[in-house]
Chain A
Amino acid sequence: AQRVTQPEKLLSVFKGAPVELKCNYSYSGSPELFWYVQYSRQRLQLLLRHISRESIKGFTADLNKGETSFHLKKPFAQEEDSAMYYCALSRGGGFKTIFGAGTRLFVKA
C-alpha cells in the first residue's frame, strides 16, 4: 500500500539554523514525490517536486530510493519559512496523491 510518513508533527529551529523535514514513503513502483507548503492564511501550494530537481526558496529535497526517503532541507532557516509542510506521493498518470500528516515548522527569531 502507498504510504507517506512524516515522523515529526512539529519542528522548531532558530533563524539561521539548518532545517530538515523528514519524509519516508512506501510504494512498490516508481513514485513521484512532492513537497507542498501551507503558509498561515494561505492555500496549500506546491513547493517542489523531485522530478524537477530544483531549489525553491532555498529548499532542496533528494529522492533516496534505497532509504525510501524524500527529506526536505534548507541550510539556513528564515522566519518566513514558518508554515505547515506536507510530503506527498503520486504514482503518476493523473491518479490520486497521498499526503503525509504534515510537519509544522516554526522558525524562531
Chain B
Amino acid sequence: DSGVTQTPKHLITATGQRVTLRCSPRSGDLSVYWYQQSLDQGLQFLIQYYNGEERAKGNILERFSAQQFPDLHSELNLSSLELGDSALYFCASNPGLAGGQDTQYFGPGTRLTVL
C-alpha cells in the first residue's frame, strides 16, 4: 500500500454539475499531482502542488481547479461537467524535493461518470 488515499472511489453525476475529488498524500510527502486517465488519452497530467502552492500545470481545463491545504491534502474541483469528463482521476504524491527521487506514489483513483 503506497499510503495515498483518494475519496470517493466512484462518483456518478449529471452534466452541468460540480464535484470535488479529495486526495491525501503519503505521510511526509509535500507534492501532490493530479492525473486524468481515459481510454483514448492515456494518463494526462493535470496539475501539481508543492507545499500548498501550484508548481506545474498540464492539460487542465479552465472548468477544473485544484488546491492543496495546510495539512497537505488536495482537492480537485470539476465544474460544468461534460460527458467527456468521465474518466479515472488519479492523485500521486512524492517528497517533491530538489535532488530527491521523483518516483510517484499513486492513489487508487476516483472513477467519475458523467451522465
Q: Which A residues fall within an 8 A CB radius of B?
A: 32, 34, 36, 43-46, 49, 86, 90, 92-102
B98 engages A96 (CB within 8 Å): no
Query: Which 7 A-B pairs rank lowest in CB-CB distance, beginning with the nearest?
Result: A101-B42, A94-B96, A96-B56, A90-B102, A99-B43, A44-B106, A93-B98
Residue in B43, B44, B95 whose CB lies within 8 Å of A94: B95
- Bound-complex Cα distance A93 to B35 (A): 19
B103 engages A49 (CB within 8 Å): yes
A90: chain B residues at CB < 8 Å are: 102
Can you list 24 A-B contacts with CB-CB less than 8 angstroms, sorted by A residue number? A34-B103, A36-B104, A43-B107, A43-B108, A43-B109, A45-B2, A45-B106, A46-B104, A86-B42, A92-B98, A92-B99, A93-B98, A93-B99, A94-B95, A94-B98, A95-B56, A95-B102, A96-B45, A99-B35, A99-B43, A101-B42, A101-B43, A102-B42, A102-B43
A92 engages B45 (CB within 8 Å): no
Closest CB-CB distance, A7 to chain B, in whole Å? 13
- Bound-complex Cα distance A94 to B92 (A): 12
**Number of B positions contacting A (CB below 8 A):** 33
Q: B89 at interface (Cβ–Cβ under 8 A)?
A: no
Residue in A49, A93, A100 whose CB lies within 8 Å of B42: A100
A32: chain B residues at CB < 8 Å are: 102
List 15 additional contacts besides A45-B106, A95-B102, A100-B42; criterion CB under 8 Å. Answer: A32-B102, A43-B90, A44-B90, A45-B2, A46-B104, A46-B105, A86-B43, A94-B102, A95-B55, A95-B56, A97-B33, A99-B35, A99-B45, A101-B41, A101-B42
- Bound-complex Cα distance A92 to B97 (A): 9
B4: chain A residues at CB < 8 Å are: 43
A46: chain B residues at CB < 8 Å are: 103-105
Residue of chain B at shortest CB distance from A41: B108
B56: chain A residues at CB < 8 Å are: 95-96
A94: chain B residues at CB < 8 Å are: 31, 50, 55, 94-98, 100, 102
B2 engages A97 (CB within 8 Å): no
- Mask, B20-58, CB within 8 Å of A = 1, is 000000000001010100000111110010100001101
